Amino acid sequence: VAPTETYTQLGVELLQGDNSFIPYEGSGGSHTTNAGDEIRSSFSSVSGPRLITAFAKFGPDLGPDHAAQFGISGGYARTWQQETEHGSGLEEWDGDAWFAGLDAVYKYSSGRAYGHGDWRVQGEYFYREIDVDYQRRQDQATIADNAVGSSKAKQDGLYLQAVYGFAPRWEAGVRTEALGLTNDGLPGNERDAERVRQFVTPDFDTSYRHTAQVTFRPVEPVFLRAQLSQNDFVDDDGDRDRGLEFMLQLNVALGAHGAHRF
């Protein structure tokens, strides 16, 4: 927390490891095809840290009834390595990646009992980009037809929600989410309509979800929530999957707990 008159929090992280955001293979891997050919990995080992992240949050003084907080975050993965093994060969993606996000929260306190008349609005936007070189090898020396190139996978998402205390201990809220307003997948070697393999970067449509909920809080560490969501998702084949989901949730926090989050 910075020593400023306005609330300011800054942070930096240096990370190491392997997960879905920063997959890592390193050198020394190999794959044997159905034909008995051994294909050695073309990846090289990279010393850490391989992921650097940073964030900043700001909270202006808006008086006793209003509060707001604004944030910005980002990160850079200096190594992004992924491979997929097939009976006919080995696919490899090698490059780097970065992400960035913006978030904001606004709250109003009415001063009435148990949250009656209070409301809050919050939202976040997130973007990531993966810049990779791609190749698909049939054996140690042979690149498959049209199976080499460079491209960028891009994806973003956002949500916006609002909650209002319509009675003491009762609140209602709505939320909307969108994933893939920009949605370019990893490049690959796919067959076209004439069954000829081509180097392509797939483009996917946007997925959406819209939610409404009502929550009752009999005491501070307990709440009972009824939630209804309408889903409009796009699968890997480009088909839409629409449906409704209903959830009834009881949440109880036991034992000592820390200070309330903003």
Residue pLDDT, tens place only, 148-202: 889 999 999 999 999 999 999 999 999 999 999 999 988 887 777 777 777 888 8
Domains defined along the chain, listed by start? 7-252 (2.40.160)
pLDDT at 258: 60
Q: Which residues of 228-252 are buried (b: 16+ CB within 10 A; e: fewer)?
A: ebebebbeeeeeeeeeeeeeeeeee
Q: Is the peptide bond before 49 cis (omega within 30 degrees of 0)?
A: yes
Q: Which residues of 20-55 are buried (b: 16+ CB within 10 A; e: fewer)?
A: eebbbbeeebebebeeebebebbbeeeeeebbebeb
Say how far apart CA 138 and CA 37 lie, in whole Å: 8
pLDDT at 261: 62
Closest CA relative to residue 146, chosen from 217, 211, 198, 103:
198
Per-residue pLDDT band for 236 (boundaries 50, 70, 90) equals confident
Give yes or no for residue 262 having a pLDDT over 70: no
Per-residue pLDDT band for 10 (boundaries 50, 70, 90) equals very high
Residue 206 three-state SS: coil
> 187: burial class by Cβ within 10 Å (0-12, 13-18, 19+)?
buried
The total number of residues shown for the chain amounts to: 262
Residue 28 three-state SS: coil
Residue 140 three-state SS: coil
